[in-house]
Chain A
């Protein structure tokens, strides 16, 4: 038992959080765990909907529904995770339970923190994609993409059209793979082992194509500042067509398997509901925000690359519950397939990376012929390329929501500051609101429906 909980049993001193001194006193020994209930005044408790997340008065919430009177000896605090197969990694969820009802909960994160933002400051822009790709390990190409877009915005370079379309193809295949993986694990969490096997099987097809294209199944370092590492392999059209045709047919099977399944519906419909106001206030993005009825998809609302030139639908839910989030991800696979078909039809011929000697290394053959090419090659791989001074925030739609990259450049070859706004990290905050008042068994399904990837959350 930590000092913190022990302090909670007796009368804990109230700290004045409005002064710097109070804050310092508060934080130097501050526990990250669920705070003791005695620390919360009744006023605050009446506003409290989650755990420490006390949703302020500006947000609608009925104080009458708050169990202010629950005495401490009737509730139980349990730790769910960090070693638990249903937490999708090393998420630790502290939950205060009254019987089987979750009263409060708090996600405790940081178990997978590896200081990637600090590492990003030590690597050149050329090496940076290798670093960021390891954050969200279920959609590595999305990380590389947002990092590359931010770097290119600072460089002020324009990519050849084929590079942009290759990136779109890979980003959408990545979305398919990530959502299939989510369908698999979510099915597993709800007891559908069949779905788990099916989801992994289809995802493996996509990863197989990635392996053929980039050389590895995950952590590709394929999308780089200046374009991509290589062109698509010969015969890629056939490979991709086979993949999307197969997945499209099998999606109908899953639809029958899950959507038409009474047990699945019972366990997801109305569970873990979130309103549109709550989702906005908590900065939730991606399928969580869309499930509440707000049609916000960066591909459509703030288009980047060539997304304004392809035809697709933004899937929107109504109730903001687990079923809506499931249905949105499910149908987004279909929309991604729609985009991939258009890419297949319309991808132009041309170069797969910008022919800027300062940014991309020269072709291998040129090094043997030209001294200048050799020098450029040497400079790029020893010093990296210099990026003009400035700062930029780039955001794209990852399978989990808005992934943003904030880069500050001081004019050198390494980012002065590289910050990734991870959708998993931010979306995790809506978990206490979703879980409140639900059952422990539903907590598993709801945690899964947030689709957290701890590598990205902890970075």
Chain B
């Protein structure tokens, strides 16, 4: 393995920012719950601790499922930004779930830490309308530029094309 990733992850990510955070184990995976304001610092702490890659960044709209399981001290909000970090040296993943209110749905971009967040944050913006401050080019990525609404929100209805059946052929 290359030397750039050889530093080992400190077992507990001992930084004070991360230590006191609510956390839980979900289906065998580590999850931490920072607040919106702590989010960027927490990601920074994990990056310093050796989590060299941002594996995935997405969001969930919990509009119709507010009663989900959360650790003590975490107040559920409508949106949740889910950031999956990966440490190559320790072969370990950590998931960061940040509660985000509906208004304002604004969170700090982690693009300055992981340039790979660029497309992923654009996708979240496109699909959920969550805005990332500090993102260099926050535009729609999958939907057309003039699209109205954010398709993956739970209050965004699914479209249907009305089916028109042909007239029945009648008895022969």
Chain A contacts to B: CB under 8 angstroms: 17-20, 23-24, 26-27, 29-32, 35, 52-56, 58-59, 109-110, 113, 115, 117-119, 122, 153-154, 276-277, 280-285, 292-296, 301-302, 389-393, 395, 402, 404, 406, 408, 410, 416-417, 419, 421, 425-426, 428-429, 458-459
Contact = CB atoms under 8 A, between A and B. Distances in A.
Interface residues of B, number: 59
Contacts of B52: 280
A32 B119 CA distance: 12
Given A30-B138, A294-B88, 4 more contacts: A24-B131, A27-B131, A276-B5, A406-B82
B4 interface: yes
Interface stretch (B8-16, B34-42, B106-114, B162-170): B106-114
A322 B58 CA distance: 30
A31 B144 CA distance: 9
B134 interface: yes
B21 interface: no
Is chain B's binding surface mostly helix, strand, loop or mixed? loop
A304 B133 CA distance: 37
Contact of A392 (B27, B131, B133): B27
B71 interface: no
Contacts of B123: 425
B74 to A, nearest CB: 14
A20 to B, nearest CB: 5
A118 B136 CA distance: 27
A294 B29 CA distance: 24
B2 A23 contact: no
Given A277-B4, A294-B1, A284 B136 contact: no
B116 A282 contact: yes
A281 B64 CA distance: 35
Interface string B91-133: 1010100000000101000011111111110010101000111
B136 A428 contact: no
A51 to B, nearest CB: 9
B152 interface: yes
Given A118-B152, A301-B91, A390-B27, A20 B104 contact: yes
Given A153-B27, A280-B5, A393 B56 contact: yes
Interface of B: 1-2, 4-5, 26-29, 52-56, 58, 60-61, 64-65, 68-69, 82, 84, 88, 91, 93, 95, 104, 106, 111-120, 123, 125, 127, 131-145, 151-152, 158
A281 B112 CA distance: 10
Given A32-B140, A281-B116, A416-B60, A390 B26 contact: yes
A425 B120 CA distance: 9
A53 B119 CA distance: 9
Given A109-B141, A294-B2, A416-B60, A54 B136 contact: yes
A459 B61 CA distance: 19
A110 B93 contact: no
Contacts of A406: 56, 58, 82, 84
Given A52-B137, A56-B115, A296-B88, A113 B142 contact: yes
Nearest to A276: B2
A450 to B, nearest CB: 13
Contacts of B58: 406, 419, 421
A280 B117 CA distance: 11
Nearest to A282: B116
A393 B95 contact: yes
The list of the 8 closest CB pairs from A to B, nearest first, reads: A283-B116, A30-B139, A52-B137, A110-B142, A421-B56, A113-B142, A392-B27, A410-B65
B88 A59 contact: no
